[in-house]
Amino acid sequence: MTTLFDRNRLGALTLPNRIVMAPMTRIRAATGGLATPSMASYYAQRATAGLIVSEGVQPSLVGQSNPGTPGLHTDEQTTAWQSVTDAVHTNGGRIFAQIMHSGRVSHPDTTGTVPVGPSAVAATGQVFTPTGPKPAPVPRALATAEVPEHAHAYANAAKLALAAGFDGVELHGANGYLISQFLSSNANLRTDTYGGSIRNRIRFAVEAVSATVDAIGGDRTGIRLSPGATIWGVQEEDVPDLYGALLAELAELGLAYVHLVATTDDETLRGLRTAWPGKLIMNPSSPSNTQPADRAAADRWLGWGADLISFGRPFIANPDLVERLRIGLPITPAEEATFYAGGDSGYLTYPAYRHAA
C-alpha cells in the first residue's frame, strides 16, 4: 500500500516522501522583486517536504500580479534567489520555482504598465496595488505576433531559475492567471489561432511548456492546473475535453509532473488522472475551500492513483508538517491576517511541535 512517507522518483530527483509544499503567495519580497534572508529561512524551515514549490515568481515586469512578489527576470533577482535555494539544499530539501505570469490580474499602479491578456476583458474583483485593493482594469489584448514572447517568458525565467539553484520549475497554469486565461472561454474571446476551439485555446499553454522544456528539459518542468476553477472570473467550457486535450499534448513532452488542484468534481479529476500517463501531484483542496487538505484526503488520492500530495495552508503554520502527519500530531491553524501582511510575524514565528516534557 502506497503511503505519504514512501520514497518517490520525480524527474532526476529522489524524494524522501510524497508530501509536496504547494506554492503560496506570501508577499515578502524586497523592492525590485528580490528574495530576502527571511524567505530563505522560511523555505529552509520546511525542507523536510519531499518537494517545495515556491510562491509564484513573475517572469517579467508586466507579468507581476501583486506588490511584494519576487521575480526571475533580472540578474539581481537571480542572485537573490541563490540564498534561498542554498538554504533549502543545506537542510536536505529540493525546491522548484513556480513561474507565474499574472496576465490580466494586475494593475498599472503595481507594474507601471497596462496588464495584458488574451482579450480586453477585465478580471472579476479587486486586485492588490501599493495603495490598497482596486478594481481589476481592462487588460490590453495581445496581438497575435506578441503571444510567443509571453510564452517564452516562462522559458527565460526557467533558465534563470536553474542559474539560481532551483531543481526545476512549475508553470502556473491555474487559478485564473495568464495560461488559465487562454484556456478560458470567457477571458479568451480571440478569433485567431489562440482562441475559439479547444485546440486553439490550449495552444498558448502547450507553447509555454514546450519552450520551457526546450530550455531546461522535461524532467525539470511541471505545470499546475485548476480544471473548472472560476477564480478571478475565469470560466471554462467542456472541462473534461479541454483538459483531456491539453494533457494529451503535454504527454508528448516528458514532463516531471502535472499538478492538479481539486477545483472540479472527483469524477472529472479521476478521469484526468487516467488520461495523464506521467507523475501526478494532487492538491485535494482548492483556494476557495475553507477546509485545508488533511491526511484522510491525501490517503484517498494516493489510493486513486496520485503519486504525490501537495499541502498549502497547513505548511504555513506547521514547518514540521511532514513529521506531524507521520505520527498524527495536531495541525496548527494558520492566522489568515498574516498571510500577506509582510514582516516575519506569521512567517517565521510558527514553531515546530513541542512535545510535553
Active site residues: 177
Chain length of the chain: 357
Rg from Cα positions in the chain: 19
Closest CA to 22 of 54, 48, 47: 54
Note whether 102 and 180 are within 8 A (CB): no
**Interior CA angle at 39 toward 33 and 5, to 5°?**
130
SS3 58: strand
DSSP H or E stretch at residue 168: strand 168-173
Cell of 117: 491578456
Query: If you search the block for the grid coordinates 509544499, which residue do you land on?
Result: 21
Distances from the Cα of 353 to the Cα of 42, 152, 323, 334, 342, angstroms:
16, 43, 9, 14, 24
Note whether 17 and 50 are within 8 A (CB): yes
Give dist(CA 151, CA 155) in Å, integer.
Answer: 8
C-alpha 248, offset from chain centre: 21
Give dist(CA 154, CA 204) in Å, integer.
Answer: 11
Note whether 276 and 247 are within 8 A (CB): yes
Residues contacting 258, CB < 8 A, separation 6+: 222, 223, 225, 247, 250, 276, 278, 279, 280, 281
DSSP-assigned beta bridge partners for residue 170: 98, 222
Cell of 215: 530550455
